[in-house]
Structure 1
Amino acid sequence: MPPFRVLYLDMNSFFASVEQHLDPALRGRPVAITAVDSDAGACVAASYEAKAYGVKTGTRVADARRMCPGIVFRPSRHRLYVRFNLAIADVLDRHAELTHIRSVDEFQLALSGDAQSLDGAAELVARLKATVAAEVGPCLRFSAGLGPNHLLAKIAGKLEKPNGFQWLSVENMPDRIAHLALDDLPGISRAMKDRLMRAGVYDVPQLCQLDPRHARLIWRSVEGERFVRMLQGMDIPLTATQRGGFGNSKILSPEYRDPRRAYMVGRWLVEKATARLRRDGRVAGRFSLTVSMLAGSVWSRGVSCFPTQDSAFFLRLHRALWKALWRNGRPGQVIAVGVQLGDVSLLAERQGDLLKPLGPSEKTRGEQVSAAVDQINARFGDGAIRYGINAPHPGFFERG
């Protein structure tokens, strides 16, 4: 069996578990975390006791109350969860090499020595579980995934919840994950799933057996080749210069769920994502919009473009995609909005365009304006200058 190099830890019902740890009266009871203290609000996290009744992220508070009599609601406390995240990270780093804090509830560790074997890794996981329980809290449990690279380790970490431990390698792939849908895999959006299916890739075994060069064509990026090679067990490290995209998504509070208000939140998300793109000195050649309806349906579309970092340009693409969504009639209430800037590369490596005309790595007029806006906002505060009307929706329940 090839050596295992990565251990991925996924905390189980992290927000609810923190609340149960701090209030022993909540232990063993169904708990849901909410962004808004209202029956019209939605659950953004749930304990496993609540999940057993069907309560999950996005479930309306009123529905959760009906589905799970006796459920306890607690408001989100972002700073508190971050403090527990850091406490767990400290434990992990004392027992292994903590290489990445992937999110508030996910951690990635590099393995060496005996821990690269299955038995050695199992011993390490047991030690970490015991230490986290003893030093941070017995309610704080995690599922662990083991793999030869970070992708397989992360997938393995999702296979057994709660408090599980699974591994993936060339020895048990792709059979071990053949039951998963394509978009169950991290990094496969609904739009990418549609693209794969149009290319004749209908399930996970077919994806695992895909020629990596074909994957590059489907993704329209080297990231497709990297993704398939990792599924096939190759150790391809994460590097800062190979970021796949910049994006933000937001679970909307009730007052923002009208589609017109959700559209304005989307404009704000575009401004945030493009500002981050420029801070990293990058350009994006694809823009995608995802709109999730309260009724359960999801609409997602993307469009390719000349690589740019111009906020006004991406806002025009954002508007065009919303128009496409409205084409068949006014959408219903919106529960979440997400924007994604993909096909990312360095501005310094962008080729020129004779038709504009534009020299290699030279900024367009729109990009120069965007950079000036960044400078003013850095001096006078975010939002001092905006690209027209938007609807800021600050809060913890966003990604990006």
Structure 2
Amino acid sequence: MPVPTSSSAPAPLVDWLFLDLNSFFASVEQQMRPELRGKPVAVVPVDTDATCAIAASQEAKKFGIKTGTNIGEARRRCPELITVMAGHDVYVEFHHQVITEVERHFPVHVICSIDEMACKLDAPRRVLPAAMDLAKRIKRGLRERVGECITCSVGLAPNRFLAKVASDMQKPDGLVALLAEELPGSLLELELRDLCGIGRRMEPRLHACGIRTMQDLWGAERETLHRAWGGVGGDRFWHALHGGPSEDDPPARHRTLGHSHVLAPELRTPPEAGIVARRLLLKAASRLRRMHYRATHLHLSVRTEDGPRCEAQVKFEPVSDSIVLARCLAELWQRVMQQARWQRLKKVSVTLMGLEAESQPQQLDLFVSNAEEASRERREHLSRVLDEINQKRGRDSVVIGFTPDTVRTFSGTKIAFTRIPDREEFQE
């Protein structure tokens, strides 16, 4: 939006800068492989037309290809489409390079996802011209120091929610400011589903409250949104939409930690699937120790090829060593597979629950002998030694209960929508 030219009028203010990397995974692939630049590219988890795109380049998006598009359908829309296997470790490295570059200009306040981050502006940079200049310097720095293919759209607004909305309004390589004194302004040009927090389930609930357009949403009373959301989430959305101050996110508290995997056909028999479950458990246990937690519950879930889901759970004293956890998994595996009648499996999930920080005081058991305590300490020490070897020598250099070659094809770390893996995870 234009900057006011009148010298007497005070410049508008914004509080947040939101940065959204454009087609991030596909842009990284084009940065790493110049032969892909200017061509329609889809990043995929497996090399088959039955899978879906997890990212699409700007060139592919012109054909209607986006995250979630079936690759078979994508090839029908664009026969020249190039598919590239995802390199999650490379994307995490570029993610950290982007953070480093942004923080050359201003501190990052919140990392929202692998390709989104936000800066809460200080007094000198709240003035719109200064905020616009900061955004332009960040965009230029990314192109010059991270890669010419790495572009971003930036939104400026009085709160983080509206700054994110602004970043989505002009892509790729956009820069949009939403000012409190001009609201609703260009918001009225959007569809309800364009706003973060309104998806396919929420939209019908808004329709039921008589809200079908952005004009309806803007004019709705706070109580109406409270009713649509079924609680205070609607109140927060109303305040954010109208430019109210953002609530700082509370520090993350980990309640569960786990991994799941959809099995390849050759790994769906119970013996092979059991090895996959054990590998997923060891990966989760390594993360548990690195994050300085102990678990008190282990949950195992499987889904058979025919569809039914079978699950079981066990509770124990706070523990983090892989040896005890592997024993618990072996017990759960027998119980779950009896439920599944030892059929072929399609998916396996392992979750550690009831997490407690290592620093949390522990209630001592008066009936535990010194020998038992010493054995526990040795197991935890051995597990940490194995972690160190795998970090130094590479993932699966040392494993418990199976040969490393059995699992190399599936045990790599993936980037989820809600979590950015640490660099160390790619060696766990």
Question: TM-score category by the smaller chain?
Answer: 0.5 to 0.7
Give the whole-Å Cα distance in 2 for the aligned partners of 1:16 and 1:251.
24
Q: Tell me the amino acid that sits aligned with residue 414 of structure 2.
A: F
What is aligned with 2:315? 372
Whether the aligned pair in 1 keeps the contact of 2:161 and 2:246 (CA below 8 Å) is no
Structure 1 residue 58 displacement after superposition: 2.1
Structure 1 residue 371 displacement after superposition: 8.3
Give the whole-Å Cα distance in 1 for the aligned partners of 2:225 and 2:208.
13
User: Is 1:392 paired with 2:410?
Assistant: no
Give the whole-Å Cα distance in 1 for the aligned partners of 2:259 and 2:231.
23
What is aligned with 1:92? 102
Q: In the superposition, relative to structure 1, how do residues 373 and 212 fare at CA in structure 2: closer, same or farther (>3 Å)?
A: farther
Give the whole-Å Cα distance in 2 for the aligned partners of 1:83 and 1:154.
23
User: Is 1:157 paired with 2:167?
Assistant: yes
Q: Tell me the amino acid that sits aligned with residue 126 of structure 1.
A: K
Whether the aligned pair in 1 keeps the contact of 2:49 and 2:72 (CA below 8 Å) is yes
Structure 1 residue 246 displacement after superposition: 10
Between structure 1 and structure 2, the one with the greater Rg is 2
CA RMSD of aligned residues (A): 4.0
What is aligned with 1:190? 200
Counterparts of 1:54-69 in structure 2, within 5 Å, are: 54-69=64-79
2:93 pairs, out of 80, 83, 91, with: 83
1:178 pairs, out of 188, 194, 201, with: 188
User: Is 1:116 paired with 2:126?
Assistant: yes
Q: In the superposition, relative to structure 1, how do residues 241 and 371 fare at CA in structure 2: closer, same or farther (>3 Å)?
A: farther
The secondary structure found in structure 1 opposite 2:189 is coil
Give the whole-Å Cα distance in 2 for the aligned partners of 1:146 and 1:3.
9
Q: After superposition, give the CA deviation of every residue in 1:295-327 in whole Å (9 maximum; x if it has no partner).
A: xxxxxxxxxxxxxxx999xx9xxx9xxxxxxxx
The secondary structure found in structure 1 opposite 2:91 is helix
Give the TM-score, by structure 2 length. 0.61
What is aligned with 1:35? 45
Whether the aligned pair in 2 keeps the contact of 1:248 and 1:399 (CA below 8 Å) is no
What is aligned with 2:5? none
Give the whole-Å Cα distance in 1 for the aligned partners of 2:317 and 2:213.
43
Give the whole-Å Cα distance in 1 for the aligned partners of 2:140 and 2:34.
19
> What is the aligned-residue identity percentage?
32
What is aligned with 1:107? 117
The secondary structure found in structure 1 opposite 2:240 is helix
Give the TM-score, by structure 1 length. 0.65
Structure 1 residue 149 displacement after superposition: 0.6
Give the whole-Å Cα distance in 1 for the aligned partners of 2:317 and 2:162.
38
Counterparts of 1:121-160 in structure 2, within 5 Å, are: 121-160=131-170
Instruction: Point out 4+ residue stretches in structure 1 off by more than 4 angstroms.
Output: 245-255, 373-383, 385-390
What is aligned with 1:348? none
Structure 1 residue 184 displacement after superposition: 2.0
**15-24 or 177-186: bigger deviation:** 177-186
Whether the aligned pair in 1 keeps the contact of 2:263 and 2:347 (CA below 8 Å) is no
Q: Tell me the amino acid that sits aligned with residue 190 of structure 1.
A: R
Give the whole-Å Cα distance in 1 for the aligned partners of 2:173 and 2:77.
25
Is there any run of 5+ residues in structure 1 with no aligned partner, and where?
256-267, 280-309, 320-329, 332-368
1:209 pairs, out of 213, 219, 229, with: 219
Q: How many residues align?
A: 301
2:16 pairs, out of 6, 9, 13, with: 6
Structure 1 residue 172 displacement after superposition: 3.1
Structure 1 residue 220 displacement after superposition: 2.3
Give the whole-Å Cα distance in 2 for the aligned partners of 1:91 and 1:29.
27
Q: In the superposition, relative to structure 1, how do residues 143 and 223 fare at CA in structure 2: closer, same or farther (>3 Å)?
A: same
The secondary structure found in structure 2 opposite 1:120 is helix
Structure 1 residue 372 displacement after superposition: 2.3
1:20 pairs, out of 13, 23, 30, with: 30
The secondary structure found in structure 2 opposite 1:57 is coil
Whether the aligned pair in 1 keeps the contact of 2:260 and 2:347 (CA below 8 Å) is no
Counterparts of 1:212-223 in structure 2, within 5 Å, are: 212-223=222-233
